[in-house]
Amino acid sequence: MSSDRPGSPAKRRRTSLYAIVGALLGVLALALPAVPAFATAAGAIILGILGRRQFKRDPSTGPSWVSLAAIIVGGFVFLSQGVILAFAYFSA
């Protein structure tokens, strides 16, 4: 690795704050009831996309898997809660 060489500055990768908060919101949405989970999952998707864009502009903002995890978990919760809410709305 280039950081192991003497004389070369070690570059620290910092994970995007958007991606971290998006991933935390996605996990939190798994534990919430339907309507708050739906809104929280939408926020997780948006923050995951913002984290992904920030990573593409500046690759030193950290691993992209964090933002992808926020998008995937948020999307799963958003779709599943959307199906549940649509079923409850149209069956009544």
Q: What does the pLDDT profile of the chain (92 residues) look like in tens digits? A: 455 555 555 567 788 899 999 999 999 999 999 899 999 999 999 999 999 999 899 888 878 899 999 999 999 999 999 999 999 999 87
Question: How far, in whole angstroms, is CA 32 from its chain's centroid?
Answer: 17
- Whole-number pLDDT of residue 46: 96
1 contacts: CB under 8 Å, gap ≥ 6: none
- Whole-number pLDDT of residue 4: 54
> What is the 3-state secondary structure of 34-82?
HHHHHHHHHHHHHHHHHHHHHHHHCHHHCCCHHHHHHHHHHHHHHHHHH
